[in-house]
Amino acid sequence: MLFINHFTNENEMKISTNSMLVLKNFSQINNSLFVNESNVLKTMSNSGSIIAVYDSEETFSDFAIYDMNELLSIISLFKLEDIDFDFTSEELIIKAGKNQIKYKYTEADLIPYSDNIKHSDKYKAFSKFNGNFSLSSQEIEKLQKASSIMKLKEMSVTINDDVCKISLNDNDNPLSNNFDLEVPGEGDIEINVNVDNFQLVPGNYDISVANNTLLKFQHTELPLIYFVSALISK
């Protein structure tokens, strides 16, 4: 029997379009999600090469979802603005008009990365960088498309004399084609990264490099950051 409550549950909440966009993006990085900070969403790829942190508009209780793609598919059955979410202690209740779905949480210890990024402060406060540059959404999209079309997965970034040179290449193939892009930059860096790790919410990004081993992508419009590990030199 479906029971319709005409009174508003004080625990019910809306999820913003921006937060839903981030959740969909995080599901591409890791299909599981663990939330243990009330206003923070975060994830880590299974390989550990990508960490993402988002300061959300919403306040969440602790919960863990094993299959985010399944949950997002359920949510897509309805218009986001029509949905009320209730994050109870054991399940997520999704209400849309006369429809109600109860979606059970999983155990937090089943989420592979839950012990590695329990607290986001250390990532948001990280500031030991020796190089900086910026990329527009169009430039990032161009790099991603060129990587796919030309089958070039490795990207090298060098900064010298306030010029940042970004090159797509295949270091294992001396006869491979190259794609180059130059933008302003600061510092003195040389780093290689896998373009497949550019699993980013669309937008413009300020990018910082730490010790030629780590890149920090800071979205310029959203409180969203990604940390992407460099490729290890052979």
In a domain, residue 81? The reply is: yes
Beta bridge mates, 183 = 164
Q: Which of 124, 152, 181 is the last residue of a domain?
A: 124
User: What are phi and psi for residue 92, nearest 5 degrees?
Assistant: -100, 125
Same domain, 42 and 99: yes
Rounded average pLDDT over 123-136: 91
Domain count, the chain: 2
Q: Which domain holds residue 185?
A: 131-229
Q: Which of 97, 124, 151 is the last residue of a domain?
A: 124
Summarize pLDDT for 219-234 with one digit per residue, the tens.
999 999 999 999 865 4
Same domain, 112 and 142: no
The CATH code of the domain that includes 195 is: 3.70.10.10
Summarize pLDDT for 71-122 with one digit per residue, the tens.
999 999 999 999 999 999 999 999 999 999 999 999 988 887 767 788 888 8
Average pLDDT in the chain: 90
Residue 233 has a pLDDT of 55
Same domain, 161 and 136: yes
Q: How confident is the model at residue 1 (pLDDT cuts 50, 70, 90)?
A: very low
In a domain, residue 190? The reply is: yes
Same domain, 163 and 212: yes
Summarize pLDDT for 191-223 with one digit per residue, the tens.
999 999 999 999 999 999 998 899 999 999 999
Q: Identify the weakest region by mean pLDDT among 22-26, 60-64, 111-115.
A: 111-115
